[in-house]
Amino acid sequence: MTEPYNGNPANVDAWSAAVFARLQAWPVAMGGAWTRWSPGYLVLTVKEFDGRSVDPIFLDTGNDELTVTFGYWECHLDGPDHPGAQDNLASSSAEAIRLIEDWLAGRICTAVYYSADDKWCGTVTIDPDQIPQQLAGSLEWLSKSGPTRIELRTPERAHWRFFRIQHDGAITETTCEQSKVGAGSA
């Protein structure tokens, strides 16, 4: 069950109420929508920022964590039951803000690796100034999954880039349609 969250801390668990109180005035959160999910955690969904549509960004408080999701990548940040719990609200909230703001500002992008049959192989964050090196470096540890193509994602889909991974490991940029040659449809 989901419903819009009205800010009433009695309707969510203590961790979720604390995260909401800390982040509700953050400009990115103010442009998103908070929803309450059963059994009482929150999800912030951001689909627009600074007057432009963006690929959805999610921040959720489920499982006593703070989970950041964008560009087919997610990061789990410590919640109230992890060591150092009194500092987790401040540090996890600050890290979530940094990650999302870096994503929105173009300081990071994500590389999503797929196999020939369009199965997800893994996602990593990439420094836009280090794309060739980091794509190749990530391919080393993902090679056992058999990736054949990469989607380099940014907040705006119009700026996504596509790459094919050749049999010899060379990575070449292509169009979206060319990246899927030999792969199933996404």
This prediction has a pTM of 0.90
Tokens of 125: 């964050």
Contacts of 90 (CB under 8 A, 6+ apart): 22
Digit-coded pLDDT (tens) for 125-136: 999 999 999 999
Half-sphere exposure of 80 (CA within 13 A, CB side): 11
> Within its chain, how far is the Cα of 119 from the centroid?
18
Digit-coded pLDDT (tens) for 77-127: 988 877 765 688 999 999 999 999 999 999 999 999 999 999 999 999 999
Helix (H, G, I), strand (E, B) or coil at 174: strand
- Most distant CA pair in the chain: distance in Å? 58
- pLDDT of residue 184 exceeding 50: no
**In the chain, where are the structural domains located?**
2-105, 109-179
Q: If pLDDT is split at 50, 70 and 90, which confidence band does 180 have?
A: low
User: DSSP state, 41?
Assistant: E
